[in-house]
Each structure stands twice: as structure tokens, then as C-alpha cells.
């Protein structure tokens, strides 16, 4: 069995686990434990999956079975056990066994002298996202972490999964290994089962080959696309992603599960697959295709970064609680950085398109007040309580580890290229981490080990950079870094007019304040989120007055009549200069040979 069958173990450790989970030999006195799941959906319109879990040779007085509280790759406790109903346990002859729920996600099944028994339950699944599960009359989709229970002390046990599709459904797509019969699959351990989503229905399956491995694209929903071009572009992206590390970790077909919905919803990476949610109109425009291929690149690069190259906290997983790390800026932000590099190298976007994207991303980070408040390392650690729970003040108090991590990746990549005179880059850091920590040591890396890997590749340490820019909030030196590649960075004010420093909405028929920007006119003048603006300088707000508001000079005084908590108030403020800036990246007129070499190494592959 290949190194990838046990994703968090390697070498002797994998061999030991493989031996531990094989059936007992003829000389063994006790049979090895076995685990089998049957997934059915007899009434899909009611949004329930039904699960039968058969446990064999569990020789104990009781067995605890558990449901994860979160889904790997999505750092929020979601309490999946709240959707479990009707759980009961029986002997093989049908006799009911005592079941006691001992905490929010654990059931204790008492089975004295009954080594073989089964647990059955229903799961309500009506949240269609890449991180949850869903079933209706049209199709079923599940993430294992929100549907399959597991024996608490035997998470490493291999299992068989049999899918019984709803009446009239004929197609199942998953990266689990196929078993001996139709719709039967094998999982090496619970980590693999939890990390292998399943799409069930009558969806269309497209195929292409990249890096010598078949790739399946399970397309649910209606869409209009030039399928040959779509597949050709996906192949280019996958092959460009492979060239970063240069090693193919796949020992089975890779599966893209694509949900084509009214609105898109992002993606989530898995061991041998990914789920993408996009608008069904995505493929009809050039901009939509660029966005889709960028999403493909991001989730596919996770095949290496996160699923195999990972911080120590991200596997093996503790499914009962948060798994904290300061390194999501590497796991997600660096993946987003590489996804844009990959699409440029694959020639599905132009070099100038890439530079324009980086300029926009610089603005996204530097125009966010929270960038000066929260280090990206802290944003990573606090993802569990902040990133997935934004509020009206989030932009003032925090920064996205995706956006800031991408910008750290940009600057760090160019710093490495400069330090090595155009010979080495971030690609080499990923290769080192893959070889040393995934293949040789079979574990993740620590914060310090990541910095050491960067230093080994660059031939010099960047400790001050990590201290001040990653674990601190000092501004990244974009201009110097881009200069290494013969590029210049310029910026202009986003607007010469005075700025209110607040976002307004009239979607409800009322002009409401939806956010207030730190240190802006509204912030300093006392305008609050949820204030309803009734008058501006004595006149009721109108489309025309709002246009005039946007065009008034710095220092203009405004008297606002607002309703707050049902009571009228007057707020007086002065428009301030707009602090936001627009950025542009351009080529130098006469780059040196060294700068040209760095640019070619960076984006020329």
C-alpha cells in the first residue's frame, strides 16, 4: 500500500498500523474488530440520511461512539451531533441494547458479552455548503465528519461503506476506494472516511488525466460550459500545481465534486478530492472562468499544502475540540498565493492579470484597519472564534489569514528569490517540507521548523521579518520585494473627495448604517451601526443627496438626523480624507539582468 493510504503516518509507523488493522490470522485466538457502514436515503425529500453501523469483535462491556464537532479544513465548531436522531443499538439477533449519551457528541453503547452489534441512527442534512451535508429530492451530498459516527478508541480501524442510493439515482462519486460490489467502498481509517465526501444522484461525470492520474469532475446541477476547454484548462492548472512540489501523492483517481448552484460558495479540500460550489453561470464569462480556475488551483494545491504539508496541529485530528495553530496563514494564505501563481504559470491568466490581482490584494490588506491591529499569526490562532463569525466591527479589529497570508507569501517568495540570486523560491520550501516532514518524519512542522525551512532554502534567516510582519503588524515592504523582480509599486488615493467612513444600505426601504470604519468621520463623529438616517442637513436622504454626499470635499460638515433604538438623535460630523489607496504594479523601464532572472524564475514556469 502506498504512503498515502495513511496520510499522517509514514514508513514503519504506517506498516505497524497496516498490520494492526488486518484481519486476524489463523493462529490468532480473537478475531480482529471490524466496522461496516450502510448509508441509505429512503425518503430524500425529507432531508434525512439513515446510517447503520455494524461493529464486530468489539470485546468490551461497552463501546463509546462519537460524532465530530467540526470538519477539517473549516475551523469552526459546528456541533454536528445536533442533527443526529433516533440512535439505537441492537444485537445481531435484534435485541435492543442500553444506550446512554454521556456528552454532547458521545453515545455509550453497553453490550456485555455481545461482541457483535449494530448502531442505527438518522442524520438531518439540509445545509448545502462545502463543509456540511445535504439531501433533497434531487441529490445527496455528505461530508463524513457530519454523518458517520466512529468508535472512540478505534479511530484507526479500517471500514467498509455501502451506499444505497435513493430510488431513481444511479451515480455515486467519491474518492474512497471501490470495494468488491457496486456502491461499496473501503476506508483505511476514520480520518480518510471523514475526509472523503460523497455525491449521490444522477449528476454528470467528466474526466481528464493530469500527471498520469485520472481526474473525475462530478458536476451536479445545470450549467452551460465549453466542456472540452473547461477540462483542458483544469488539466493545465493541475499540472502546473504538480510542478511546484514535483511529486504526485495520488494513488487513486482525484475527484472534483462541483455544485452548480444559483450562487457560489467556495471550496473545501480533502485527501484525494475537493468540493467546489460555484454559480451555474460561472463558465459563461471570461471573468467567471478565471475565478473558477483560481478556485480549482487553490483547492487542488491543498493536495500538498495542508493535506500532506501541514502544521503539527492539523493531523491526526482531535474531532472533539478546536485544533489550534498560528500557521493558517501558511495553510490557507500561502495556498491562495500559490493558486494565483499556478494559474499564471498554467497560462490561463496573463502575467499582467496576475500582477493586477496582486495589486488589488495589496489594497484589500492595507485598506483594512484590522491589519494594524491583529497579526496574521493571531488571526490564524483565533480562526475558531473570529473568522467564521464576522460582525460589523470585524474589519476594524482583525485581518483575514487568507488575504494577509497571501501577501506574506508574495513578499517572502521574492525575498527568497533575491537571497538566492534567482535560484530558489517558495516552491523549494514546499518541496523541503514535503520530503522532510510528510515523507520522512510522517508528521507536521512547528512554527520554528517552518522558519528553519525557509532559512535553509534561502541560505539566510528572516527572523526579524517573521517577528515583525507575521507575529507583529508592521507593514510588509511590498515595493522592495517587487523591485527584486524589476517591478514598481505605486498608489493613489481611492478618492479625492471627503469620506464618511461608513457603509450604508437602503435594501429595507430605510437608509441604515451597516458598518463604521475605524478612525473615520463616522467613527469619530459618533455615527453607529444600525442608525437609520432620516435627514442629511435638513433634507430627507434621496438618491441625489447620496450622490452629493459622495462628492463633497474634505472638511464638509454634516448634520444628520438619525433614529437609534427607536428614538431620534442628531449627529454632527466632518468628512475626512479617504484613507484607502489604489495600488498598481508595473514593469521597470530597464530591469537589470538579475531582476529579469528573478521575474522569469518567479512567474516564468
Q: Is the pLDDT of residue 6 over 50?
A: no
Specify the pLDDT at position 546: 66
Count of helix runs (H) and strand runs (E) in the chain: 17, 29
pLDDT band at residue 23, thresholds of 50, 70 and 90? very low
Specify the pLDDT at position 62: 97
Tell me the per-residue pLDDT of 426-461, one tens digit each, with 9 for 90 and over: 999 999 999 999 999 999 999 999 999 999 999 999
Do the Cβ atoms of 237 and 101 come closer than 8 Å?
no
Same domain, yes or no: 230 and 280: yes
Beta strand 84-91 with 96-103 is: antiparallel
Q: Is the pLDDT of residue 604 over 90?
A: no
Specify the pLDDT at position 605: 55
Specify the pLDDT at position 170: 98
Same domain, yes or no: 154 and 208: no
Same domain, yes or no: 274 and 137: no
Domain count, the chain: 4
The whole-model pTM stands at 0.92
Look at residue 312 and tell me if it is in a domain. no
User: Which residues span the domain enclosing 234?
Assistant: 204-301
Q: Which residues contact 128 (CB under 8 A, 6 or more apart)?
A: 134, 141, 259, 261, 277
pLDDT band at residue 9, thresholds of 50, 70 and 90? very low
Same domain, yes or no: 333 and 285: no
Distance CA 279, CA 260 (A): 6
Look at residue 219 and tell me if it is in a domain. yes
Q: Is 45 exposed, middle or buried (0-12, 13-18, 19+ CB in 10 A)?
A: exposed
Distance CA 155, CA 191 (A): 8
Same domain, yes or no: 423 and 511: no
Look at residue 44 and tell me if it is in a domain. yes
Do the Cβ atoms of 300 and 237 come closer than 8 Å?
yes
Query: Which secondary-structure segment (H or E) carries 275?
Result: strand 273-279
* Of 290, 286, 289, 335, nearest in space to 309 by CA: 335
Same domain, yes or no: 175 and 240: no
Same domain, yes or no: 213 and 251: yes
- Label residue 164 left, alpha or beta by phi (over 0 means left) and psi (-120 to 50 means alpha): beta
Same domain, yes or no: 257 and 227: yes
Same domain, yes or no: 401 and 517: no
Look at residue 15 and tell me if it is in a domain. no
Tell me which of 177, 201, 225 is where a domain ends: 201
Do the Cβ atoms of 173 and 145 come closer than 8 Å?
no
Look at residue 381 and tell me if it is in a domain. yes
Same domain, yes or no: 225 and 171: no
CATH number of the domain that 370 lies in? 1.10.390.10
Tell me the per-residue pLDDT of 135-191, one tens digit each, with 9 for 90 and over: 999 999 999 999 999 999 999 999 999 999 999 999 999 999 999 999 999 999 999
Specify the pLDDT at position 545: 64
Look at residue 572 and tell me if it is in a domain. yes
Q: Is the pLDDT of residue 556 over 90?
A: yes
Long-range contacts for 393-398 (Cβ within 8 Å, ≥24 apart)? 393/515, 393/529, 394/370, 395/368, 395/369, 395/370, 395/515, 395/517, 396/369, 396/370, 396/516, 396/517, 396/518, 397/369, 397/370, 397/373, 398/370, 398/373, 398/374
Look at residue 586 and tell me if it is in a domain. no
Q: With b meaning 16 or more CB within 10 Å and e meaning fewer, what string describes 560-590?
A: bbbeeeeeeeebebebbbbbbeebebeeeee
Where are the extended beta strands (E) located within 421-578?
487-493, 498-499, 502-505, 512-516, 532-536, 557-564, 567-574, 576-577
Segment 255-271 mean pLDDT: 95
In DSSP notation, 449-495 reads HHHHHHHHHHTS--HHHIIIIISS-PPP-HHHHHHTTTEEEEEEES-
Look at residue 320 and tell me if it is in a domain. no
Same domain, yes or no: 262 and 170: no
Specify the pLDDT at position 194: 97
CATH number of the domain that 135 lies in? 2.60.40.3650
pLDDT band at residue 7, thresholds of 50, 70 and 90? very low
Specify the pLDDT at position 541: 85
Same domain, yes or no: 43 and 189: yes
CATH number of the domain that 556 lies in? 2.30.42.10
Amino acid at each position: 500500500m502506498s504512503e498515502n493510504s495513511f496520510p499522517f503516518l509514514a514508513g514503519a509507523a504506517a506498516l505497524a498500523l497496516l498490520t494492526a488493522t488486518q484481519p486476524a490470522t489463523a493462529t490468532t485466538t480473537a478475531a480482529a474488530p471490524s466496522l461496516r457502514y450502510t448509508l441509505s436515503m429512503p425518503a430524500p425529500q425529507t432531508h434525512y440520511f439513515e446510517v447503520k453501523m455494524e461493529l464486530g469483535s468489539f470485546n468490551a462491556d461497552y463501546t463509546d461512539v462519537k460524532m465530530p464537532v467540526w470538519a477539517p479544513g473549516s475551523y469552526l465548531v459546528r456541533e454536528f451531533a445536533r442533527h443526529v436522531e433516533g440512535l439505537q443499538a441492537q444485537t445481531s439477533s435484534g435485541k435492543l441494547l442500553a444506550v446512554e449519551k454521556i456528552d454532547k457528541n458521545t453515545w455509550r453503547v453497553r453490550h456485555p458479552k455481545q461482541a457483535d452489534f449494530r448502531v442505527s441512527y438518522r442524520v438531518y442534512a439540509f445545509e448545502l455548503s462545502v463543509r456540511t451535508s445535504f439531501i433533497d429530492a434531487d441529490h445527496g451530498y455528505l461530508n463524513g465528519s457530519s454523518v458517520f459516527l466512529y468508535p472512540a478508541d478505534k479511530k484507526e480501524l479500517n471500514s467498509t461503506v455501502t451506499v444505497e442510493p435513493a430510488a431513481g439515482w444511479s451515480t455515486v462519486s467519491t474518492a474512497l476506494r471501490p470495494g468488491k460490489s457496486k456502491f461499496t467502498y473501503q476506508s483505511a481509517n476514520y480520518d480518510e472516511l471523514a475526509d472523503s465526501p460523497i455525491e449521490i444522484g444522477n449528476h454528470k461525470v467528466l474526466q481528464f488525466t493530469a500527471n498520469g492520474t485520472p481526474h473525475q469532475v462530478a458536476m451536479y446541477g445545470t450549467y452551460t460550459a465549453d466542456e472540452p476547454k473547461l477540462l483542458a484548462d483544469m488539466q493545465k492548472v493541475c499540472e502546473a500545481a504538480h510542478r511546484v512540489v514535483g511529486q504526485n501523492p495520488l494513488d487513486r483517481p482525484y475527484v472534483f465534486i462541483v455544485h452548480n448552484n444559483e450562487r457560489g460558495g467556495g471550496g473545501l479540500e480533502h485527501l484525494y478530492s475537493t468540493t467546489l460550489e460555484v454559480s451555474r453561470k460561472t463558465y459563461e464569462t471570461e471573468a467567471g472562468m478565471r475565478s473558477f480556475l483560481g478556485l480549482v488551483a487553490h483547492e487542488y494545491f491543498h493536495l500538498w499544502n495542508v493535506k500532506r504539508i501541514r502544521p503539527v496541529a492539523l493531523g491526526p485530528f482531535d474531532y472533539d475540540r478546536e485544533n489550534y495553530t498560528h500557521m493558517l496563514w501558511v495553510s490557507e494564505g500561502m495556498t491562495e498565493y500559490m493558486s494565483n501563481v499556478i494559474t499564471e504559470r498554467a497560462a490561463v491568466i496573463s502575467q499582467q492579470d496576475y500582477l493586477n490581482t496582486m495589486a488589488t490584494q495589496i489594497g484589500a490588506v492595507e485598506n483594512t484597519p484590522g491589519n494594524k491591529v491583529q497579526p496574521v499569526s493571531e488571526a490564524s490562532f483565533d480562526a475558531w472564534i473570529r473568522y467564521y463569525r464576522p460582525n460589523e466591527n470585524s474589519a476594524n479589529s482583525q485581518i483575514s489569514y487568507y488575504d494577509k497570508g497571501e501577501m506574506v507569501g508574495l513578499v517572502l517568495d521574492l525575498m527568497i528569490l533575491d537571497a538566492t540570486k534567482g535560484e530558489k523560491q517558495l516552491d523549494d520550501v514546499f518541496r523541503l517540507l514535503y520530503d522532510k516532514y510528510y515523507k520522512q518524519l510522517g508528521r507536521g512542522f512547528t512554527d520554528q521548523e517552518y522558519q528553519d525551512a525557509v532559512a535553509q532554502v534561502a541560505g539566510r534567516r528572516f527572523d526579524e521579518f517573521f517577528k515583525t510582519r507575521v507575529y507583529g503588524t508592521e507593514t510588509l515592504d511590498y515595493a522592495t520585494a517587487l523591485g527584486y523582480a524589476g517591478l514598481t509599486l505605486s498608489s493613489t488615493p481611492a478618492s479625492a473627495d471627503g469620506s464618511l467612513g461608513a457603509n450604508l444600505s437602503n435594501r429595507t426601504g430605510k437608509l441604515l448604517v451597516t458598518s463604521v470604519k475605524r478612525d473615520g468621520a463616522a467613527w469619530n463623529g459618533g455615527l453607529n451601526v444600525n442608525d437609520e438616517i432620516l435627514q442629511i442637513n435638513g433634507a430627507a436622504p434621496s438618491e441625489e443627496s447620496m450622490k452629493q454626499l459622495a462628492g463633497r470635499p474634505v472638511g464638509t460638515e454634516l448634520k444628520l438626523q438619525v433614529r437609534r433604538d427607536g428614538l431620534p438623535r442628531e449627529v454632527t460630523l466632518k468628512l475626512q480624507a479617504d484613507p484607502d489607496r489604489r495600488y498598481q504594479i508595473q514593469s521597470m523601464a530597464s530591469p537589470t539582468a538579475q531582476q529579469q532572472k528573478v521575474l522569469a524564475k518567479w512567474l516564468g514556469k
